[in-house]
A and B are shown apart, each in its own frame.
Chain A
Amino acid sequence: MQLHPRYFGRNLRDNLVSKLMKDVEGTCSGRHGFVVAVTGIENIGKGLIRDGTGFVTFPVKYQCVVFRPFKGEILEAVVTMVNKMGFFAEAGPVQIFVSNHLIPDDMEFQSGDMPNYTTSDGSVKIQKDSEVRLKIIGTRVDATEIFCIGTIKDDFLGVINDPTTV
């Protein structure tokens, strides 16, 4: 945690904490997933002055709530985009792609103004803003992003809330 000398003073600790929150919350680390919220500071180590800049680096140990999707996890997500290859959904910060191979075979892609996947009888429709329950079958974790592949081709998976019917 780097801090500007300007912040040195009585409330150094507070500044550190607020900066930590600012810097860390909402980020994603490959190992731990998305940091949702910092819940507590365990300890703040001794600062190390950086040559030349005057900045000071503090080692900070903190606890936080993280969100990390796992393979096989069932999530509920909101569809953000539908295209012929499948659809993208978001569950909080995680983007999940559901390929058309992983959409039940009876659902067909309908292009048009509002691209969607519809069952042959038209009873179920997946389009933008639909809420779906899906199972994560694969995750790819980058330094700054987690990307998942999901499936709705399983029992009890699929649309759970359709914006059009509400």
Chain B
Amino acid sequence: MSHRGGMDDEDDDDDYEEQVADFDEEEVDEEEEDRSGGKKRRRSSFIDDDAEEVDEDDEEEEEDDYEDEDYGGKSSRKRQKSKKGSASNFFDIEAAVDSDEEEEEEEGDDDFIVETGSDLPYDDDNRGRARHRLPPHQEDHEDLEAMARSIQERYGKQRMADYDEETTDVEQQALLPSVRDPKLWMVKCAIGRERETAVCLMQKYIDKGSELQIRSAIALDHLKNYIYVEADKEAHVREACKGLRNIFGQKITLVPIREMTDVLSVESKAIDLARGTWVRMKIGTYKGDLAKVVDVDNVRQRVTVKLIPRIDLQALANKLEGREVVKKKAFVPPPRFMNVDEARELHIRVEHRRDAYGERFEAFGGMMFKDGFLYKTVSIKSISAQSIKPTFDELEKFRKPGESGDGDVASLSTLFANRKKGHFMKGDAVIVIKGDLKNLKGWVEKVDEDNVHIRPEIKDLPKTLAVNEKELVKYFEPGNHVKVVTGAQEGATGMVVKVEQHVLILISDTTKEHIRVFADDVVESSEVTTGVTRIGDYELRDLVLLDNLSFGVIIRVESEAFQVLKGVPDRPEVVLVKLREIKCKIEKKISVQDRFKNTISSKDVVKIIDGPCRGKQGPVEHIYRGILFIFDRHHLEHAGFICVKAHSCVVVGGSRSNGDRNGDAHTRFNGLRTPSRIPQSPSRVPRGRPSSDSGGRHRGGRGHDGLTGATVKVRQGSYKGYRGRVIEVKGTSVRVELESQMKVVTVDRNHITDNIAVTPQRETSRYGMGSETPMHPSRTPLHPYMTPMRDPGATPIHDGMRTPMRDRAWNPYAPMSPPRDNWEDGNPGSWGASPQYQPGSPPSRPYEAPTPGAGWASTPGGNYSEAGTPRDSSAYANAPSPYLPSTPGQPMTPNSASYLPGTPGGQPMTPGTGGLDMMSPVLGGDTEGPWFMPDILVNVHRAGDESVGVIKEVLPDGSYKVGLGSSGNGETITALPAEMEAVVPRKSDKIKIMGGALRGSTGKLIGVDGTDGIVKVDDTLDVKILDLVILAKLAQS
């Protein structure tokens, strides 16, 4: 039966079915019936002389030239043909015509089953055959009139039958073969000789007459290797096949009764072309175009469709005027609505016609137009009506001349046609759109073949209603989160903002743009996807080099192409590129300079100060050829990417505004500089400072490019594969301390990759920071810059640690207000990124920052103020000198002097560290020495005597103006930090926080826990646990 299965499939796509020979004993019986005349004649025709002769020839051939025959089916057959002359021709013709005829009949009769075994279908088969056979017979046949009469009878009857008894299902059923009917046997024959075999069988039948007990032989064009033989018994088939050269093996299979009809039935492709259906043109100028069926002529197999014309009016005019038309190859005019006036202008005669329905048309050049559409009558075969999915654009176009509702309904019908099985699922919200129940909402309970059982929304209705699938569409409400499952936007997710009949408007999750989709195309989903995010090697947000040497960032991945925001500054230029148009991904890590020559490397937060996007700010995603791609999550266009020149940006914190406000006083910037406990990105470390000044102190070109301190991997050379920390950058080479071997090696800069996982480094730093022993390995000279920073406030060096604080003194504003305030005003941009300075900001703020890594990395810039600006650098370089001599603390920490300037960079937090160490803000707070601040109560030890005082002002040289007395009303003296000690607050004292994230905040000490104080911060009323060391008693005012 496996054959049968395969054949069934073929059956479906092949209308051609052929019955080559049909010789039946029952003809005798039929003779008794009216229509037997044709049969008889037909039979006699088989036995005409010619045929007989040929038969003899044939037989002879078969017997004598057996081997001769065997060399190839085709040639032998041809030979036969030519030899046989008229007879074989006759067979062929018959066969050919026959098949046509049958096909037509069957198409007409829908799925009328041709059943060779039973009586009734016979006339169907034979009618056609007989008719066509007639002409050749006529010559032989003497009784033309009888024939004519019999034909009359036959057809008359047929027609009667056709009209009188419209075939009903029951009748059809009656025609099906039953157990009493002859069976169909499948016989294996030589491939390619199916027809021949059948013909042979026929011939044999003709020769042997009723000896042969088979009833018919069928060769199907689409079935190779087998023919069907109809007979009552297998033995009959064997008998008939005996001696046939093309039948070998005795494999005869019975076709089960049920499948017999399938053998000979043709899957009718019922093209259901209704008016208003969307179709596509298959050929011609309009190939692929969407068209709408306006009229169907089933008889002539023609349809009238409505198209958007693609007419080159000029060419048409030329043609009509008889001018030579230049044949442009492969030029298809774009679809455009026809404007009759335009045509008139070109002197094309426009006629007005009415069609059969009385509709008015404008006609010219043999074409009919209405409302700008072209009405074209084409053959049904030249359009395809299957699975047409009009896109929105196309529908929109079709809807042009103000017929809104109509277009929708029409497209609906097409949508239904394209629905897949299992379109509705249990639980889907649906709405009825047709019939009495229109607008009834409900939920799908069960899905049958065509009917969907829904549970209606309205109460008083039956529990479930069966509704035809075609009357339902999915229903969504604004606010639903959906996913597009088919169509152009496939894969996108979004929230429904509006429902317009069966069209939804979504707001995409990724692009925040509106998408219009059909309700049918979406399913409810909580999933959030971006759709596709990569094709090939390229992913969303990648910087790519394009064909024409331009470059850009992929901002959207579509089904086959990318949207790329090109690297053209100041003017967003988006191009759609195909995969092959992309040359490569650019993954270089480059750093550039901003307007103030600060180094920008990727992930730095920059602010745009020029151009159309001025004011925007965000982390740098890519840098290439001096152009930055900045990602601003508040920027809605282009997936948040902004393309700017590096020169139009400042690294946030480079805060120009601040500088402007403060005038040019370098010292002030310096003053603003915080004690650099902020993890300082080396890239921010001022560079370009005169080497004579900095000397070795600055550890060679450290911070040259954000590399120092970064964990890198050597990718070339003898140390390939090693990882290590960069401790120095010297020109084109870097000195890397290998992780695995305790040694420092020098490798070429180009031989390393940075930006590898930095966890190990982080750990080091953590331990380093946490460690209280100065002897900790992490403080080996290899990381000298860490040393001072690691010191908790209590170590002797801590005085030295205060030094930067003294810088504050230079800030004239300092006494009045915490220096922070300056930043706050001048530099709001930096705030988000430096939350730990924000008084009262919840400690969790840093984590809120969208890109903690970047934010963190940028922080230093912000707090550090002008650290990166050249002028600041010089000031910075000078910074140590003025106060060094005056700092008694310094001699105690001989190395601090040299380290201090570098301290900012000392934090091993490089931009590469990226991810913010959760602990670091705390650590920062803890390691911070207590920097004295105005308004706090201190004990001044001086020349042996001890007195209480209140810090009034921080002087630029690092010393403090202290008003003696508990309220600071007494004599004002100048004291050095080393001479002072903050008064340790006691429970319920008002305090000021001198370090940590809350530095500068005031609060109340509500409890003491060992070395920690529990502080209620005034601003936020938060309760914090802080080290007592950084708390100072606030002077009563």
- Which A residues are in CB contact (< 8 Å) with B505? 99, 101
Residue pair B497, A101 in contact (C-beta under 8 Å): yes
Residue pair A149, B495 in contact (C-beta under 8 Å): yes
- Which A residues are in CB contact (< 8 Å) with B918? 2, 23
Contact A25:B770 (CB < 8 A) given known A11-B1025, A83-B636: no
Q: Which residue of B lies closest to A18 (CB)?
A: B1025
Residue pair B495, A138 in contact (C-beta under 8 Å): yes
- Which B residues are in CB contact (< 8 Å) with A19? 922
Residue pair A18, B514 in contact (C-beta under 8 Å): no
| Contact pick for B845, options A4, A26, A86, A139, CB 8 Å | A26
- Which B residues are in CB contact (< 8 Å) with A17? 1025
- Which A residues are in CB contact (< 8 Å) with B497? 86, 99, 101-102, 149
State A61–B1009 Cα separation when bound (angstroms). 23
- Which B residues are in CB contact (< 8 Å) with A6? 770
Contact A81:B636 (CB < 8 A) given known A99-B507, A137-B479, A138-B496: yes
Indicate if B299 sits at the interface (CB-CB under 8 A): no
Indicate if B474 sits at the interface (CB-CB under 8 A): no
Residue pair B844, A140 in contact (C-beta under 8 Å): no
Residue pair B509, A140 in contact (C-beta under 8 Å): yes
Indicate if A107 sits at the interface (CB-CB under 8 A): no
**Mask for A106-137, Cβ within 8 A of B = 1, else 0?**
00000000000000000000000000000011
Residue pair A71, B479 in contact (C-beta under 8 Å): yes
Which residues in window 500-555 of B have CB below 8 A to A? Answer: 505, 507, 509, 512-514, 528
Contact A27:B1010 (CB < 8 A) given known A15-B1025, A138-B496, A140-B495: no
Indicate if A44 sits at the interface (CB-CB under 8 A): no
Indicate if B848 sits at the interface (CB-CB under 8 A): yes
Q: Which residue of B lies closest to A71 (CB)?
A: B479
State A2–B766 Cα separation when bound (angstroms). 14
Residue pair B1009, A18 in contact (C-beta under 8 Å): no
Residue pair A11, B1010 in contact (C-beta under 8 Å): yes
Residue pair A25, B842 in contact (C-beta under 8 Å): yes
Q: Nearest Cβ in chain B — how far from A127, in angstroms?
A: 16
**Mask for B919-932, Cβ within 8 A of A = 1, else 0?**
10110000000000
- Which A residues are in CB contact (< 8 Å) with B636? 81, 83
- Which B residues are in CB contact (< 8 Å) with A27? 844, 847-848
Residue pair A102, B478 in contact (C-beta under 8 Å): yes
Indicate if B481 sits at the interface (CB-CB under 8 A): yes
- Which A residues are in CB contact (< 8 Å) with B498? 99, 101-102
| Contact pick for A140, options B513, B528, B1025, CB 8 Å | B528
- Which B residues are in CB contact (< 8 Å) with A136? 479
Residue pair A138, B478 in contact (C-beta under 8 Å): yes
Q: Which residue of B lies closest to A99 (CB)?
A: B497
State A138–B1014 Cα separation when bound (angstroms). 43
Q: Which residue of B lies closest to A93 (CB)?
A: B848
Residue pair A23, B847 in contact (C-beta under 8 Å): yes
Q: Nearest Cβ in chain A — how far from B1007, in angstroms?
A: 10
- The number of residues on chain A lying at the interface, defined by a beta carbon within 8 Å of a beta carbon of chain B, is 38
Q: Nearest Cβ in chain A — how far from B860, in angstroms?
A: 21
State A147–B498 Cα separation when bound (angstroms). 17
Residue pair B844, A10 in contact (C-beta under 8 Å): no
Q: Which residue of A lies closest to B1025 (CB)?
A: A14
State A11–B763 Cα separation when bound (angstroms). 23
- Which B residues are in CB contact (< 8 Å) with A149? 478-479, 495, 497, 507
State A128–B175 Cα separation when bound (angstroms). 79
State A151–B217 Cα separation when bound (angstroms). 74
- Which B residues are in CB contact (< 8 Å) with A80? 634
Q: Which residue of B lies closest to A136 (CB)?
A: B479
Indicate if B132 sits at the interface (CB-CB under 8 A): no
**Mask for A23-54, Cβ within 8 A of B = 1, else 0?**
11111000000000000000000000000010
Q: Nearest Cβ in chain B — how far from A1, in angstroms?
A: 11
- Which B residues are in CB contact (< 8 Å) with A25? 842-844
State A139–B507 Cα separation when bound (angstroms). 12
Indicate if B1024 sits at the interface (CB-CB under 8 A): yes
Q: Nearest Cβ in chain B — how far from A31, in angstroms?
A: 13
Indicate if B1012 sits at the interface (CB-CB under 8 A): yes
Q: Which residue of B lies closest to A72 (CB)?
A: B479
Which residues in window 413-455 of B have CB below 8 A to A? Answer: none
Indicate if A21 sits at the interface (CB-CB under 8 A): yes
Residue pair A81, B480 in contact (C-beta under 8 Å): no
Residue pair A138, B481 in contact (C-beta under 8 Å): yes
Residue pair A11, B1012 in contact (C-beta under 8 Å): yes
Contact A99:B847 (CB < 8 A) given known A10-B1010, A138-B481: no
Which residues in window 123-166 of A have CB below 8 A to B? Answer: 136-140, 142, 147, 149, 151
Q: Which residue of A lies closest to B1012 (CB)?
A: A11
Which residues in A have some Cβ–Cβ distance to B below 8 Å? 2, 4, 6, 9-11, 14-15, 17-19, 21-27, 53, 71, 80-81, 83, 85-86, 97, 99, 101-102, 136-140, 142, 147, 149, 151
Give 19 pairs: A residue, B residue, CB < 8 Å, sorted on A. Answer: A11-B1009, A14-B1025, A22-B922, A24-B844, A25-B844, A27-B847, A81-B634, A85-B514, A99-B498, A99-B505, A99-B507, A99-B514, A101-B497, A101-B505, A138-B480, A140-B481, A140-B528, A149-B479, A149-B497
Known interface pairs A2-B918, A71-B479; 19 further A-B residue pairs with C-beta atoms within 8 A, sorted by A's residue number: A4-B919, A10-B1009, A10-B1010, A11-B1010, A14-B1009, A18-B843, A21-B843, A22-B921, A22-B922, A23-B918, A25-B842, A85-B513, A85-B514, A99-B498, A137-B478, A138-B478, A140-B509, A142-B528, A149-B478
Which residues in B have some Cβ–Cβ distance to A below 8 Å? 477-481, 495-498, 505, 507, 509, 512-514, 528, 634, 636, 763, 766, 770, 842-845, 847-848, 918-919, 921-922, 1009-1010, 1012, 1014, 1024-1025
Q: Can you list the 5 inter-chain pairs with the closest CB atoms, starting with the nearest?
A: A138-B479, A137-B479, A101-B498, A99-B497, A22-B843
